[in-house]
Chain A
């Protein structure tokens, strides 16, 4: 037993770029991949980790000094590097227990289908990392209360609760999503939708203002400003803004612009290798699930982009970019300099779902909720950085902090992961959990009536 423990510890000490590929090779063989394909997937994953680590170092070296200079020139202290969701997912996958989340998610889904508590089969196996991330946060927060083994157990229980809520959310939004996207038989299981639960009471108030219920065509505006949100252009603009705020000279500012553009352009390029490595496993699991429930018509749960045909989502995303940037400078308690996570699809999709695509109300909700993403990104930074350091997923300098300015479903993630803080007398996360459950039930009923009456969405 102790030899096995030693071997595992040795493998973990080699870092994420070694041990996660070993796990994926084993997982691949379990789901019936050929040895050469499994090994290929494993090496690809090692490449993904190493590439991400390289890119994050490059980004920190470009942005870090600018953030320091900004502190000197403007007094705004934003020391946390924003690596975006791709960085978060890399760090989440490096959690030693990460792959156990697959059987948990599939197991719960199968049980819920068998006992008829859901109609959704979640095929979005990539976003298992969202559950892993909640688990990572829970384990870090609970460590002082329950010890290592106890906190990991609580992490999996919390993830299980999140999985149940994701399936129920997918069920309740399916009718509305079909009406809005025009695509039948699919829904969205992504936890980014949880923010819509907190938006719901505010949206109910906004709906009472007649002027906000007008609709207009978002397509024209989207085509005009769309270019500014393309990774390379946006990265360049952000780099220039940071350079100016840091009082850099022209040459340094232009260089920072190109370096920032390079970082934002390369993030998706490198993150793709994670998908390439994980795709065969997720396809094998989907095929298994499809065979198991062949006789039933299931709704398939997907990641959000199938709704990306809606121009309203993109307009809200574009609006959120300057809002986030301004908030980061003036918001008390924020320490993130928004960068790689600044294209916040998560907030836009949540607002899209809850308003049924009403662009005016979406914009107001984006402005109200943007601070939550910065605060939660700030609060989560210490454990994200600790995990990155201990697994070697990202090489960070001493004292350097990394996080994301657009964590999916930030309020829910914070509330679920910090719940046990009440043991220290902090009842705020507990209160948020209660609000979440109450609003969830209210929205569930509201959407149930909408579906039953076959209402049009407007």
Chain B
């Protein structure tokens, strides 16, 4: 049984603004029947002042999906669009006094439907399907990289599990976990850079570095090298210098140093630390 607080229960049991606006000025949808929840948000907007004069919703979904939608409608009625569009999923959660972490995606669905409705009103067409498909990270639930980056930034998320709770991404076949991790690294790196620009680099011990380098070799680099009959071995780490040796076909390959600088080094900088320099040592 989910531990819903009294306010969430109240908004689920007696949802305000459930229903339809037949002549709505804006309609936005989020979620899907297959995923288990969908929200349709309808708005009446005063053209002159751009104030939302009425909002209604229809939800197929669990208790917190219904409560989040009902809360959202109350939060936006009477607000000008310019203010409403600043509402994030976190504001919905705060309004409700908190949601179980596994249910955060319900609040995200609210934010997405609101955004879709405002775009509809402003005549912005939704992203073409083909374009959207290119950005999809989680195939099971159809979640794009942009959506993941946004919730990660707004809610300071750092783990794949967090992302799953907020967007469902990664909750199905789990094959996108690496991609999500990669996105999270980018987002954390960004946010770490902002406040303390000069030393935005993570402090890693040599052991941690070694482990991350090995992991990066195994996951990112060896599969490619092995396809050509080669291999790579980590010899030592001296500060930021990563000493490696190439094996098999790679050891005699004329483009080996090119591979190291143009392919291996960028990968290490991406996955381990941005200040690493790779050097080849001959065995």
* A and B from one complex: no
**Residues of A that sit less than 8 Å from B by CB:** none
